Structure 1
Amino acid sequence: MSSITSPHPQALPASLRSSGSSSSSSSVHEADTVTPQQNLKRPRLLSRKSSGTIIVPREARTEMNDEDEDFDEDDARAMSPRRSSQDLEKMGQEARAHLDAHAKTLQKSLLEIFNRIEAVKEEHDKLDNNNKFLQKYIGDLMSTSKITSTGGSGGGRKR
């Protein structure tokens, strides 16, 4: 029997990993071999015991009033007291009033910004018109200076 080659020799049983075997020991060799199906079985898991239900003993309920609770200043429960509906309504009205005042302030500043933009646009238009006027004036001066310079020197040569 020829030797069995496998890309992973550790996957084969030790009896199959041997390099040579004779035909006389083949019956003994076959009895010792483990089939790959038997080798791949998972070990059985031990059965777990149920943890059961958690039993909590009943205790008598004690009702507490808001005045009964005293907490330190650093205690989180003292920092977030329970509020009544009147307190919540009052807080809601204060928040609305604060938001209204903030909205009015923002609208006022927006109107001021808009007015400033309009003033800047007017100044820009004024400067643009003045710039165009000056460019035209300079252009007219240049053309008249060319006419006078060519006319005056040309007349002097002809004499």
Structure 2
Amino acid sequence: MVPFHHNMTSLAYAHYTVDSAPIEALSEPPSNPSHSPPLSTTSSDDNIPTRGRLDAHRPRLGSRKSSGTMIIPRDSPRVEMAPGEEEYEPDDVRSMSPRRTSEVIEKLGEDARRNLIEYVSDSEPCCFDANDMLFRQAQALRASLMAIVDRVEAVKIEHEKLEGGNKFLQSYIGELIQTSKITSAAPSKKGKSRNVK
């Protein structure tokens, strides 16, 4: 029994000596200091992200312009423009009436006729005796202006016909409505008279 106990002790010491050797080797400092990585504080400072520096220059939320200022509330008095604030040029479509009366059409025809007469009086054929080409161009322009005047007259006549037809239709529709009211009220009266009998 004693030798066996001695062997166990030797094995235990051997295990201790084997395990302790690597620990002592690891705890020793490196023999060659030239291969150790240099420790510098400047490199670590350079590797720090500059997020904090950028956040310092970032504008605050209070200084930014909110998009809510571009939205007009529904109950605001400035939702629609006042009638006097809308200014359009005379040739603008928005300043023209979509429907012209017979008086406006007649005035347009008179203006076109007057402009034609003024143009013809200013461009007499005697002024173009020296140049036949200009005289022919003036004749063609005069013919086109006359055609425009004729077209205005035709449109005026058609407009008067449409106005007459519109009045006739309005009177006819009014008569139909009156007739329908009379016919709808008549059966109810007959029914009441039968119930009384």
What is the TM-score with the length of structure 2 in the denominator?
Answer: 0.33
Q: Which has the higher helix share?
A: 2
Higher relative contact order (CA 8 A, sep 6+): 2
Query: Which structure's CA Rg is the greater one?
Result: 2
